[in-house]
Each structure stands twice: as structure tokens, then as C-alpha cells.
Chains A and B, each alone.
Chain A
Amino acid sequence: MKTFFHLLYKDILLLIRDKAGLLLLFLMPLTLVLIMTSMQDGVMSANMDTEIALILLNDDEDTIGNTMEKELIKADAFNTKIGKEIDSSMTEEDLIKLVANGNYLVGIYIPDSTTENLAEVFKNKLENAFKGNPTDSLEDDNDTMDIRVYIDPVVKPSVHSTIISNVKEFSLKVQNQFSLKEISLMLDSMSGGRINNPELSEVEGLSVKENTPDKSGNDGLSPNSIQHNVPAWTLFAIFFIVVSFSGSIIKEREDGSFNRLMTMPCSYSTYMSSKMTLYLFVCIIQFLLVLAMGIWGFPLIGLESFVIEGYFLRLLFVVIFASLAAIGYGTAISAFATTQQQAAIFGSVSVVILSAIGGIWVPVFAMPNFLKVLSHFYLLIGEWKHPIILS
């Protein structure tokens, strides 16, 4: 035991004297998690969370135009500016220029008399319908009114689809409200006021409610860049100790100090257990630092705080075993590598490759089938829902 503690004392001293090694072990994981989380948070926000800059030019200034204006202002997906408020003499050409210059990602133009024309068309169709005359489709060229949408070509296809479907949804909603209002007015006039409160346009019968299924039956946390990146990159960073761990073994082998220790009453297992103990603590400290940054540091730079649900001790259990796996991998590398350079290059590159297979870079479901099978055998599984961390 005395031998073990003296070896541990030696390993601690060697580690704290190696400033570059310390930076690699502690600063690198923090930087990695911080950068990857911020980047992914930025990408995800740009596509999903950040409001899309939109300009609306409402030349209609009647029911359809005004309702559309209200709906767009209310919508979370868009940061809507009203063209007439910016420039009362704005024309459709001005709006196109603003979008083309990149001032706005989306421009919507509602032409003059859209409401009036649609009302006319509806009225004729309804009258014909109630009189039993044949009616033409509303989509006839002569009867349709265009709401023209201009989208910056740099917008990604997925965002493009989101914009178009949002605008279509609003226009359909406005059109439905408008047509139902016309029908209710006609019914009112036909019944001579005997139908009480026939405001059919106010009825909202069918709604879509979104829910997230959760294995544990709890409400669960919605996956975001923080909940994904903190555990995933922390595990990834733990595996980077293989460079330092195998390097320290090879260095002692190269400079002869390992051989000297073996001429003393010191077994190979004692020699390895002191190193393993030290690096196990290094991994745990590394993990706690990243966790602390996720919980308390992220909110300071505008990111959401990392949330741990369930038992923290279970999480620690996972970290200990992940650390032991990393130490085992480091030992294997030190056995095969003959120089520190070999160990450093092979160690770092192989960890990156294996982490990709494990699903840290790309979710496992998006991988080809053979990689999906491989990913099941690998520890660095960074799928969106880590079973212990998130449940």
C-alpha cells in the first residue's frame, strides 16, 4: 500500500507539472462543450427558434388584409413589419427590393381590393348555390386572388417550406373565416333573423395538440442543444484522457523510469493502479467541471441551463464506468504504441471516429444500417435522449 501511495504521489506531481497536459485534460472539455453547444444552439435557433424577418405590404386594407396582418403579428415564427408603417407610399416593387437586398427574409404583398373581390366571388357563388344554379370552382383563374410571397433565395429549403406552409395556413384561416362569415350572413338574411347568433366563423372545433412521448411516463425535457451536447461531449472529452494517460506510460517507458521502478519492489499492477486511480479522479473532476459549467455557466452567456433529472448518483456511476473504459482504452493504446506521438495521434483520431459511430456527431437514426449496428457496441452513444441523464 505504501508503494501505491508513493506512486500516486509521483503521478500527481508529474500531472500538475505538465501544464499543457492539464490544459488538455480540463480546459479542452470545457471549451469543447461550450463551443459545440453554442454552435448547435445557434444553428437550431436560426432554423427553429429565431423569428424570421418578414415585411407585409397590405394594399387591401380590408378584412382579409387586416386579419392576415393581425395573424402574422401574433405569430411567433415571424418578426413582422408593416410596410405602410415604414413607408406609407411603399409599392410592391419596393417590397421586392427590400427582400432582394436581404433586409427581410420574406415579403408578403396583399393586393388592393382582395377582400372586395373575394366577397364578390363568394357572394355570387353562394347565391347561385342557394338558388340551385351550377357553380364554378373558386380556383378558376378569373375568381382567384393572389397573395404574393417573396422569399430570399438564401433561405434553406426547410425554412422555405416552413414559411410557405405558415403563410398558406394563415391565408386559409383568413379565407375560411371570411367565407363562413359570408355564409352566416346569408343564412341570417334568409331566415329573417330566426337563427340565433349564426357566427360560424368564430367556431374553432378542431385543434392539434403536440405532445412528446417519454419512456418513463414523465413529461420529460424537450431535447435541445444543451441537453444533447453537455452529456454527449462530456463523455467524448472523458475519452480524450487516453492521449494523456497512454502518453504518461510511454514517456516513463522511453525515459527508463518504468524499468527502474520494475527493478524495485513494485509490481506492474501497483504501477498501473496508481495511474488508473489518478486518471479516474481526473475524469470525475472533468465531468463535474463540465456539469457545473452547464448548470451555472451557460445561463451567464445566454444559453439555457443544463437540467439533470433523476438520480445524480446514477449519473456518477455512468461517469465512473465511462472513465474506466477510457482508461482501459488508454492502456491498450500504450501497449501497442511505441512512441508518444503514435499514441497521441492514434488516440485522438480513433476517439473522434468512434464518437461519430456512437452518434455524437450525427444522430444514430440518420446513419446507414451497418453503422447503426456498430453504434450499439460503442460506449460513446450521444443520442438525443440519454436514458439516465434525461429520465
Chain B
Amino acid sequence: MTPILCIENLTKHYKNGEKNVLNGLTFSVNPGEIYGFLGPNGAGKSTTIKILSGLISSDSGTITVMGRDLNHYRDQIKRCIGVVPQDIAIFPTLTAYENLIVFGGIYGIQTRHLYRRIRYLLKLFGLDEHRNKKVELYSGGMKRRINIIVGMLHEPSLLLLDEPTVGIDVQSKNVIIENLKMLNSKGTTILYTSHDMDEAQQFCSKVGIIDEGKIITEGSPEELIGRSEDYTNLESVYLKLTGKKLRD
């Protein structure tokens, strides 16, 4: 099977940084997978997502998305991927509906289809009643949901989610996870970062643990847990491999 995302020997060093953030990062994601990209703070998760999103460039290494080199087909690839950043990145003084019209329009979605898609997603995420309310008046959970909808509007082949459920209540988290599973069942591949190991264990079909800029282990959650009798869940695997030392 040809991977939908293939990263090889990726390196990145920030100008004022002491060491490389990415040190020959190599992994791939197959179509239809929910890939959990896990690691402690400063391990290189967000840098990888930024490089994949086209916000920054890597120092070396190659990235291919759907068989195309990211550096050469950046614009085409941007149309095929959806990005959900960790921070709520929408226009707070616009309503949810207006935000989605703007972002959908930028993706070039046909107007009639866009309206249908917006209504569908708003209903799916329980925001239809609040569509004409300014986003700044939304609760944290509602903002998270609209933040995710923006990334799903154009039905991307690959969805990059950077901690999509951080800081929200259980109900909102449940709605998000269920809908992401449904989206995945319809063919969307998901690359997902999180610090919630229970959520990752239940949600991901494959997990890669990154530390100091490279993948230190990879496999399905069951496979990783089964590698040692000491492992009882994904969190124990994670702590064993990355250590208990605090990270900045």
C-alpha cells in the first residue's frame, strides 16, 4: 500500500535553538489510518505539523503527500489536507456561519455545495442553533468544535489534528472523537497529536512515539502494549520509553 504521508530523515533547527528539534524524523501514514503522533513537550510534534502545513520549512529530508513532494506541490497538497491547530484559529467577531463561508470559499468549494456542507457539519457537531452567533460568545468546547469543522469543510484526504480535544468537557470531547471516527470511516486519514494517552489508545489505529526529534517506537496500541508484560496501557508504554523526567 502506498502511504498517504511519507516523511524521511526530516531535520529542523531553529535559529536561536541549542539543538535540532527534528533529528532525522522518519515515519509514514497509510490511507485510512488514525495515526497517533505522541510525545512529550518539545519532542518535535508541533514543528512537524507546522512543516506539514506549509507554515515553516525543514532543513533537510523529504515529505511526500499522496505521492507528491510537498516542496514542489505545496498548493495542490494544501487543497487535499485539512489542518486543525492547537489554538482556536478563527475570526472571533464573525459568526460561525460567516467563518465557515470565508474558509470554505478560500478552499474553493462551490457555493451551493459549501452551504450544504456547512449546515451538515454544524448539525453534526451540535452547533447549528448557534450558527449566527459570534464565535467570541461561544464556550470553550463550542470553539474547539468550530475549529475542527473548519479543517473538515473541504473533505480532506489527510486531516492533521494538533491536540484537538485539549481543555474541553467530556461531552464535547465525545462528540469530537465520534465525528472524527465517522469521518475516518468515510476514508479520511488522520494524523493526531495528543497528551491524553487513554484517548489515543481508544482512538488511534497506529501510534508513533516521538522524542528528541525522532520516532522511538511505532505500532498499533495493542501491539505496543503487548511488547512487555510491564505494559498495562499506552500510558505505561509512553512513560517507559520517554521517561518520567520533566520536559520544558
Contacts and interface: CB of A to CB of B under 8 A. Distances in A.
B6 interface: no
Contacts of A6: 101-102, 105-106
A256 B88 contact: yes
Contacts of A265: 75, 78-79, 106-108
B93 A262 contact: no
Instruction: State the majority secondary structure of interface residues on A.
Output: helix
Q: Taking each of A259, A261, A265, which has the highest tally of chain B beta carbons within 10 Å of its own beta carbon? A: A265
A256 B102 contact: no
A244 to B, nearest CB: 14
Nearest to A270: B106
Given A260-B83, A263-B53, A263-B54, A18 B102 contact: no
B125 interface: no
Interface string B16-30: 000000000000000
B91 interface: yes
Contacts of B101: 6, 9
Taking residues whose C-beta sits less than 8 angstroms from the other chain, chain A's interface range is 20 to 34
A259 B49 CA distance: 12
B92 A260 contact: no
Interface in B74-108: 75, 78-79, 81, 83, 85, 87-94, 98, 101-103, 105-108
Contact of A262 (B55, B90, B108): B55
B108 to A, nearest CB: 6
A264 B106 CA distance: 7
A257 B105 contact: no
Q: Taking each of B75, B83, B106, which has the highest tally of chain A beta carbons within 10 Å of its own beta carbon? A: B106
A266 B106 contact: yes
Interface in A1-51: 2-3, 5-7, 9-10, 13-14, 17-18
A255 interface: yes
Interface in B31-64: 53-55
Interface string A244-257: 00000000000111
B108 A3 contact: yes
B124 to A, nearest CB: 21
Contacts of B90: 257, 260
B122 interface: no
A264 B55 contact: no
Interface residues of B, number: 27
Given A2-B105, A3-B105, A263-B53, A256 B85 contact: yes
Contacts of B93: 13-14, 17-18
B98 A263 contact: no
A3 B105 CA distance: 6
Given A2-B108, A256-B88, A263 B55 contact: yes
Given A13-B98, A14-B94, A264 B105 contact: no
Contacts of B55: 259, 262-263
Given A263-B54, A264-B78, A255 B106 contact: no
Contacts of B98: 10, 13
Contacts of B91: 10, 13-14, 257
A261 B78 contact: no
B54 A261 contact: no
A250 B155 CA distance: 30
Contacts of A255: 87-89, 92
Nearest to B154: A264
Contact of B106 (A17, A259, A261): A261
B161 interface: no
Contacts of A2: 105, 108
Contacts of A256: 85, 87-89
Nearest to B111: A2
B85 A259 contact: yes
Interface in A141-184: none
Contacts of A13: 91, 93-94, 98
B176 interface: no
Contacts of A266: 106
Given A14-B91, A18-B93, A262 B106 contact: no
A102 B99 CA distance: 67
Contact of B105 (A5, A17, A262, A263): A5
A121 B90 CA distance: 96
A10 B102 contact: yes
Contact of B54 (A5, A17, A257, A262): A262
A18 B92 CA distance: 11
A259 B162 CA distance: 14
Given A260-B103, A262-B53, 4 more contacts: A13-B93, A14-B91, A260-B90, A262-B55
15 contacts: A2-B108, A3-B106, A10-B91, A10-B102, A13-B93, A13-B94, A13-B98, A17-B93, A255-B89, A256-B88, A257-B89, A257-B91, A263-B55, A264-B78, A266-B106
Interface of A: 2-3, 5-7, 9-10, 13-14, 17-18, 255-257, 259-266
